[in-house]
Structure 1
């Protein structure tokens, strides 16, 4: 399988790619059956994330004429006063969780369609998303029920900080941090 072309998308173009993001999400979570993973709930979260200053996405595009999508990654800097760390099972120190809109980049989603899994596509999307970021560190959440995914992020330089449930109907997630962001 040939390497995909990576397309960087900024917030001003979110509406142009929104339906594509939802279609890939629908494909990946079609059999989950959880309310939290419902496409409409994801759409609400995606819209909220895309409204944050500095939101960006990277889409993997196939080289064929149809311009198919291999997957995507998107995120944004955590804004001043962010509640990102508030639902930690074991509270983290205040100086660690204090956000100013420039300190921490949150990777909200990394999704790869089935034909491109195991090819390194997720890593390529993730690294391109972080490539030009000025923030000091990156954070993401990984479903605690998926230890193999957690291990993959650890190989990419993240470390686990503990667990949280960010929404009442969400699964338990492991909070992960990559510091420094580059290097």
Structure 2
């Protein structure tokens, strides 16, 4: 099923879209907000830090005036802590290849399974100058369905890390920004 009427908008500064990002995050994570790592306050701290990093950009999907989801990321530097926190050796040249870190992708439940998450994701990547994109995913999210969705989009596991002591151990994934094969749209959360 595809929902028409979704408008995708880019943001290069966080302040004009701060409220929308917080609103979507709080709804998507509603059942986890009691955990310190997932609290709205901690998310706000992460969002402010991420938005101050080089190359930050967000794509927000709207249905009418309502934000339904978003993705944001920033450019990684070769010595970025993103790379330094990995628990295993990375593929040769990985940290020297221009990379976008996909820091967050969120989608409200009514729009899951519609292809909207993939549209947001692909729009964020469409005009980026980096050669590859990396993300972190909780392998337990959705009983493994979220990681499987990213695999269907072409991401491969490269390592794992635990960015915060009170947060989960996350799987680090990587793929080329420009792919030659068509994207799959078979995921339950997109």
Q: Hey, what does 1:167 align to over in structure 2?
A: 164
Q: Which runs of 5+ in 1 are unaligned?
A: none
Q: Hey, what does 1:134 align to over in structure 2?
A: 129
Give the superposed CA RMSD: 1.5
Partner-residue secondary structure (3-state), 2:54: coil
Does structure 2 conserve the Cα–Cα contact (< 8 Å) formed by 1:52 and 1:79?
no
Q: Which runs of 5+ in 2 are unaligned?
A: 180-190
Q: Hey, what does 1:36 align to over in structure 2?
A: 37
Partner-residue secondary structure (3-state), 1:109: strand
Instruction: Choose the corresponding residue for 1:88, options 86, 89, 92.
Output: 86
Does structure 2 conserve the Cα–Cα contact (< 8 Å) formed by 1:144 and 1:163?
no
Q: Quick check: 1:182 aligned with 2:174? A: no
Q: Quick check: 1:148 aligned with 2:150? A: no
Does structure 1 conserve the Cα–Cα contact (< 8 Å) formed by 2:139 and 2:146?
no
Q: Quick check: 1:112 aligned with 2:110? A: no
Does structure 2 conserve the Cα–Cα contact (< 8 Å) formed by 1:52 and 1:76?
yes
Q: Distance in 2 between matches of 1:76 and 1:128?
A: 14
Q: Hey, what does 1:18 align to over in structure 2?
A: 18
Give how far 1:79 is off.
Answer: 2.7
- How many equivalent pairs are there? 174
Q: Distance in 2 between matches of 1:37 and 1:15?
A: 21
Partner-residue secondary structure (3-state), 2:84: coil
Q: Hey, what does 2:187 align to over in structure 1?
A: none
Instruction: Choose the corresponding residue for 1:125, options 113, 120, 141.
Output: 120
Instruction: Choose the corresponding residue for 2:155, options 144, 158, 166.
Output: 158
Partner-residue secondary structure (3-state), 1:85: helix
- TM-score norm. by structure 1 comes to 0.89
Q: Distance in 1 between matches of 2:137 and 2:17?
A: 24
Does structure 1 conserve the Cα–Cα contact (< 8 Å) formed by 2:90 and 2:159?
no
Give how far 1:87 is off.
Answer: 2.0
Q: Distance in 1 between matches of 2:57 and 2:71?
A: 9
